[in-house]
């Protein structure tokens, strides 16, 4: 009986696994051509300074238009990482993001997500320097967002690159803080300027006392370490009020703006839309 069950399981799962593998292969093949076919684009989501009530920074988020649909980075970034395609793709993102930032007001920074794999490329610092030079923006206008997984490969090369970038004036953010298992020790080992608290803590902030306690503790921790604290995923006025009361420095989320196409973002930056919105909320 066991044998026949095993066999039926085998037959049941194999076609599904084939389909999944095929899907990956097709994403991989498509991704190889995405750059030359101009299928990649960036969208931009503002981060708001809470005390200043203005856009302090804008995060660049990658999109891939392929076969008539838009593929999410959560779907293709892992494949780009496994195949090494993240290196040319990531370089394109850096250049494109810096070029976009060149047309924004000079006090608005641009945040770019970096994959751990990009740190294995020995010339990451040179790549960043070139992107800044090409766009003619100062290093102080660039922030690099790194998720905790990177730091699992804690090593000399990564550390040296982070220190060199910081010495140039680039800011380093820890993205999705609280989702990895070594967040605290990483804060000690790596030179971060900013902590972005993961969206999952924001999601149940209103209903769960523990999420609120964690949020409060992390904001306090960031402050005492001299880091900027940011909360992602602010979707409601109530969430905004809660994190504002906890003393967060910066907020990001659908309440203010979803990720926008470049022209829409430029309009927003050159209008007082967000300023008016947050002043209204403050009163
Ligand atoms: P992330 O860096 O944590 O980016 C924030 C994600 O949360 C974005 O998803 C954004 O659209 C979404 N988001 C922002 N505000 C809200 C909100 O209020 N509610 C909800 N539910 N979601 C919100 P997106 O654009 O799908 O990106 C997903 C992840 O893909 C990013 O997470 C980042 O880790 C990765 N990614 C995106 N672009 C790049 C890139 O150029 N390079 C690399 N290496 N990774 C990227
Ligand atoms: Mg990010
Ligand atoms: Mg994040
Ligand atoms: Mg995330």
Here the ipTM equals: 0.98
In angstroms, what is the span from residue 59 Cα to ligand 2's centroid?
7
Q: What is the pLDDT along the chain (283 residues), one digit of tens a residue?
A: 444 444 444 444 556 668 888 888 888 999 999 999 999 999 999 999 998 889 999 999 999 999 899 999 999 999 999 999 999 999 999 999 999 999 999 999 999 999 988 988 879 999 999 999 999 999 999 999 998 765 656 678 888 899 999 999 999 999 999 887 667 878 887 889 999 999 998 888 877 888 889 899 999 999 999 999 999 999 999 999 999 999 999 999 999 999 999 999 999 998 865 554 555 454 4
Q: What span, in angstroms and rounded, lies between the C-alpha atoms of 193 and 170?
A: 9
Q: Which residue in 256, 244, 263 sits closest to 50, CA to CA? A: 244
> Is the C-beta atom of 72 inside 6 A of ligand 1?
yes
Ligand 1 pocket mutation, candidates 58, 63, 72, 73, criterion most atoms within 8 A of CB: 73
Please report, to the nearest 10 degrees, the dihedral formed by the alpha carbons of residues 225, 141, 201, 277 taken in order. 120
Mutate to test the pocket of ligand 1, among 45, 61, 176, 243 (most ligand atoms within 8 A of CB): 61
- Cα of 176 to ligand 4 centre, how many Å? 5
Nearest C-alpha to atom 4 of ligand 1 is from which residue? 61
Closest by CA position to 251, among listed 272, 228, 271:
228
**Ligand 1 midpoint to CA 33 (Å):** 23
Identify the residue whose C-alpha is closest to ligand 1 atom 45.
113
- Structure confidence at residue 6 (pLDDT): 44
Ligand 1: atom nearest CA of 72 is 26
């Amino acid at each position: 009986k066991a044998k026949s069950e095993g066999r039926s399981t085998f037959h049941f799962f194999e076609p599904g696994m084939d389909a999944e593998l095929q899907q990956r292969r097709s994403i991989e093949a498509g991704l190889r051509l995405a750059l030359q076919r101009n299928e990649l684009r960036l969208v931009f989501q503002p981060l708001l300074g809470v005390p200043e009530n203005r856009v302090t920074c804008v995060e660049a988020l990658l999109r891939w238009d392929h076969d008539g649909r838009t593929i999410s980075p959560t779907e293709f970034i892992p494949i780009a990482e496994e195949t090494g395609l993240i290196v040319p793709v990531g370089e394109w993102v850096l250049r494109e993001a810096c070029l976009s930032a060149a047309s924004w007001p000079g006090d608005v920074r641009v945040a770019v997500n970096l994959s751990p794999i990009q740190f294995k490329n020995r010339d990451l610092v040179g790549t960043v320097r070139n992107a800044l030079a090409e766009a003619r923006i100062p290093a102080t206008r660039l922030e690099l967002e790194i998720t905790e997984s990177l730091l699992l490969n804690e090593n000399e090369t990564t550390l040296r690159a982070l220190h060199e970038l910081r010495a140039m004036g680039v800011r380093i953010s820890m993205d999705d803080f609280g989702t990895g298992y070594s967040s605290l020790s990483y804060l000690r080992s790596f030179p971060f300027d900013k902590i972005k608290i993961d969206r999952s803590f924001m999601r149940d902030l209103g209903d769960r006392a523990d999420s609120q306690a964690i949020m409060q503790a992390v904001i306090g921790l960031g402050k005492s370490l001299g880091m900027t604290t940011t909360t992602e995923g602010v979707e409601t006025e109530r969430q905004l009020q809660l994190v504002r009361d906890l003393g967060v420095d910066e907020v990001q989320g659908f309440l203010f703006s979803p990720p926008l196409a470049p022209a829409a973002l430029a309009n927003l930056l050159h209008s007082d839309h967000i300023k008016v919105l947050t002043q209204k909320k403050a009163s």
